[in-house]
Amino acid sequence: MKFLFDLLPVILFFATYKIAGANPDAAHALATQWFGSGIMATQAPILIATAATIVATFLQIAIVWIKHRKVDAMLWVSLAIIVVFGGATLFFHNPTFIKWKPTALYWLFGAVLLVSASLFRRNLIRKMLEAQIQLPDSVWARLNLAWAGFFLAMGLINLYVAYSFSEETWVNFKLFGATGLMLAFVLGQGVYLSRHIEETN
């Protein structure tokens, strides 16, 4: 359930884009009403989907705050990035900004993991997971590095898809491709870590 909740903005982005694309006249009229004149019909789906994602992220934070009275730093970072990149897309009527948003978020997470480990001697992956599993120090270090490398790779893959394929293909990749790669990476890590967990028992 939490996994679906975390994916709420991406799912809403995908659904809104598809609905707007299936109703081009209504989407164009709505986009013109909300974001000003001069918008082409082909721009309407991505603009409406971007606005829906910004709203969904605010809603996510509100729900988390109401339930727990605190919000994880990652959610605040996600909100800041979607507001900046999504807001630029809406203001300039240019989808380039929203296409860069996932890459900015991935690279920020990767950089935080690397900087925390190298400069502050803090392994953030270990901090998040050590209450659930016990691993040797060397494995924690490799795990942290693996996540940083994964985020770097995901940022590059996002840009490759965004600039090498159609906008609709990129939208599909955001939900299915990126989520699938994340699940595959987590499953692969689970197989790798299971050996070390057994060794420490």
Q: What is the pLDDT of residue 179?
A: 93
Local confidence band at 192 (pLDDT 50, 70, 90 cut-offs):
confident
pLDDT digits (tens, 9 = 90+) for 140-186: 899 999 999 999 999 999 999 999 999 999 999 999 999 999 999 99
pLDDT digits (tens, 9 = 90+) for 87-101: 999 999 999 999 999
Local confidence band at 4 (pLDDT 50, 70, 90 cut-offs):
low
Rounded to 5 degrees, φ, ψ at 164 are -105, -15
pLDDT over 70, % of the chain = 96
C-alpha 201/C-alpha 197 separation (Å) is 7
Q: What is the pLDDT of residue 200?
A: 47
pLDDT digits (tens, 9 = 90+) for 109-132: 999 999 999 888 899 998 888 888
C-alpha 106/C-alpha 50 separation (Å) is 18
Q: What is the pLDDT of residue 119?
A: 87
Q: Which of 196, 127, 183, 138 is nearest to 7 (CA)?
A: 183
